[in-house]
Amino acid sequence: MLQKEKIAFIGTGVMGKSIVKHLLAANYEVTVYTRTKEKAQSLIDQGANWAETPAKASKQKDIIFTMVGFPQDVEEVYFSENGILESAKQGAIVVDMTTSQPTLAKKVYELAKEKGISSLDAPVSGGDIGAQNGTLSIMVGGDQEAFDRLLPVFEKFGSNIVYQGEAGSGQHTKMCNQLLIATNMIGVCESIAYGLKAGLDLDKVMQSISTGAAGSWSLSNLGPKMLNGNYNPGFYIKHFIKDMKIAIDEAEAMGLELPGVKLSKEIYNTLLERGYGDNGTQALIKYYID
């Protein structure tokens, strides 16, 4: 029975922690690893097991999730001597939920396949709110058979789960998602900045525009945070800049120019230089009103 399969989860940050909580609530046995044990302590207190390395966390597990910060972190947790592929058993499925490079997703897939391990790239969208509510959008690349096996697990923390195709397809789909957010966030911030300069009641403005043609997830969920000066990270600026760089690099490799995302990355880089890298992406408003 799938419910009895043992799970490892590598990376318990803002998103990973909420996902593990859903897995524990569904009575899965979950072993966690993150660089700083204290960041996983609340999960351990709720019943998760702790492992000292990704390799130890992965040993004899049926499903191994990873959700780390950057592509180099993905390479470390999968390919190092204390990494996942050194200890994962044949027949296991590794699932990288990090937003990372499609080419790296294909590399993980090929090296895992050589060891008799299935691999899925399954980045998510929905932010900390979606993770907490178990309503994440999950875009998945890899083999259909592995996806079908994992679908009941994905359903514990996601509500829109779509198989996109071969390895790397999940990451390419996430790039499409991030490109939309990158340019939309500029529009949200410029709309708010304009409303402030015009002396409008921004709560009333939000009431009018959020449900019309200009409505978006960013406007409805991050707009109020901007108005309240709440820059706590649901998604870090430093990680979003990483995503935009991946999208730009992948697009250039395909001969595609993306001026909108380049502008967004330039503005976010300005905020990074000002020391706001650990703020949430909604801190983009600081570029306009500080």
* Residue 283 clears pLDDT 50, i.e. is over it: yes
What's the confidence (pLDDT) of residue 269? 99
Task: Report the distance separating Cα 109 and Cα 218, nearest Å.
Answer: 33
Mean pLDDT computed over 57-78: 97
Task: Report the distance separating Cα 205 and Cα 220, nearest Å.
Answer: 12
Cα 160 from chain centroid?
A: 14
End-to-end CA distance of the chain: 55
**What is the pairing mode between strands 93-96 and 63-66?**
parallel
Reduced to 3 states (helix: H, G, I; strand: E, B; else coil), residue 61 is coil
Q: For residues 98, 104, 110 and 116, what is the CA-based torsion angle, rounded to 10 degrees?
A: -30
What's the confidence (pLDDT) of residue 160? 98
Q: Is residue 41 located within the same domain as residue 181?
A: no
Quote the domain boundaries for residue 103: 2-166
What's the confidence (pLDDT) of residue 94? 99
What's the confidence (pLDDT) of residue 220? 96
Q: Is residue 60 located within the same domain as residue 154?
A: yes
User: What is the 8-class DSSP label of residue 258?
Assistant: -
User: Which residues are the active-site residues?
Assistant: 174
Q: Is residue 162 located within the same domain as residue 178?
A: no
Tens digits of residue pLDDT in 228-256: 999 999 899 999 999 999 999 999 999 99
pLDDT category at 2 given cuts 50, 70, 90 is very low
Task: Report the distance separating Cα 97 and Cα 74, nearest Å.
Answer: 10
pLDDT category at 3 given cuts 50, 70, 90 is low
Task: Report the distance separating Cα 10 and Cα 16, nearest Å.
Answer: 8
Count of the separate structural domains present in the chain = 2
Tens digits of residue pLDDT in 173-188: 999 999 999 999 999 9
Q: Is residue 20 located within the same domain as residue 132?
A: yes
Q: What is the mean pLDDT of the chain?
A: 97
Q: Is residue 43 located within the same domain as residue 154?
A: yes
Cα 12 from chain centroid?
A: 12
Q: Is residue 190 located within the same domain as residue 49?
A: no
Q: Is residue 177 located within the same domain as residue 273?
A: yes
At 20, which CATH number? 3.40.50.720
Out of 166, 192, 220, a domain closes at 166
Out of 166, 192, 210, a domain closes at 166
The whole-model pTM stands at: 0.93
Out of 166, 201, 235, a domain closes at 166
At 243, which CATH number? 1.10.1040.10
* 114 token code pair: 């050589």
Task: Report the distance separating Cα 142 and Cα 119, nearest Å.
Answer: 6
User: What is the 8-class DSSP label of residue 63?
Assistant: E
* Residue 222 clears pLDDT 90, i.e. is over it: yes
Percent of the chain residues past pLDDT 70, beyond the cut: 99
Contact 250, 102 (CB under 8 A): yes
Q: Is residue 72 located within the same domain as residue 19?
A: yes
Tens digits of residue pLDDT in 110-139: 999 999 999 999 999 998 899 999 999 999
CA neighbor of 122 nearest in space, from 92, 150, 104, 97: 97
Tens digits of residue pLDDT in 39-56: 999 999 999 999 999 999
* Residue 1 clears pLDDT 60, i.e. is over it: no
Q: Is residue 18 located within the same domain as residue 86?
A: yes
32 Cβ neighbours under 8 A, 6+ residues apart = 8, 9, 10, 12, 20, 40, 43, 44, 48, 49, 50, 51, 57
Q: Is residue 150 located within the same domain as residue 211?
A: no
Mean pLDDT computed over 10-39: 96
Q: Is residue 198 located within the same domain as residue 69?
A: no
pLDDT category at 5 given cuts 50, 70, 90 is very high
Tens digits of residue pLDDT in 162-176: 999 999 999 999 999
Task: Report the distance separating Cα 163 and Cα 20, nearest Å.
Answer: 22
What's the confidence (pLDDT) of residue 196? 97
Tens digits of residue pLDDT in 134-155: 999 999 999 999 999 999 999 9
Contact 99, 126 (CB under 8 A): no
Q: Is residue 114 located within the same domain as residue 238?
A: no
* 199 token code pair: 């002396």
CA neighbor of 172 nearest in space, from 77, 105, 234: 105
